[in-house]
Amino acid sequence: MVEPLLTLLDGNGQTPDQLAHELSDVIEWDYDQKTDFYVGMTEKRGAAAELCRNVGRYSTFSELWAIAAKKCVKAFASRAGFSERCELPEFIKGLLERPFIRASAAAYLALWYTREFPIAGPAPEYAPSDSRDMHHMSSVAAAAAAIFVTQERRLPRLMELVKPIALPLIRVTDLSGLLSEICQAKTQE
């Protein structure tokens, strides 16, 4: 998918119709990816009941992480073509030590956890955009960002679960909070 994006950026003498076609392929790929993620997560709905039977109660996110982190990373690595290496405990341990992988696994599990173990009321449904929330958290880890600014309603809760496990130094705020910080810093100069 990188090639169509590069083509769009430099144009290469393409007509607007050709560029629109290239962009529609990228949009279709993005839509398919989000839809596949949404369908897969929705199919796993109710797995918390099995976890509760095995553990004996509703787990905290830290307990879920201890139970499922290696299994989650193993599934990621297997899908990426590393099935044979997944059988080596040191391989999975090494992957979990990488901030990007650790944050990706924690984001995936946090998303699942917040849908299966709601704070109050009925469990929220999955949304196709949830996959992009995971991408945001993975990107924050890859960039070693110090602050994460979002206007999303549910994403900050996910970030708060992921922080102690994979992003301990990140600050999460919204645009208003960021602007307040900037104004305070300017008045203190």
How much is the pLDDT for 129? Answer: 78
How much is the pLDDT for 11? Answer: 56
| pLDDT(57) > 70 | no
Percent of the chain exceeding pLDDT 90 equals 11
> What is the average pLDDT across 32-60?
68
How much is the pLDDT for 96? Answer: 92
pLDDT digits (tens, 9 = 90+) for 78-117: 888 888 888 888 999 999 999 889 999 999 888 888 877 7
Evaluate if pTM is beyond 0.75: no
How much is the pLDDT for 102? Answer: 93
Nearest to 106 by CA among 144, 67, 72, 156: 72
How much is the pLDDT for 53? Answer: 60
44: region left, alpha or beta (phi > 0 left; psi from -120 to 50 alpha)? alpha
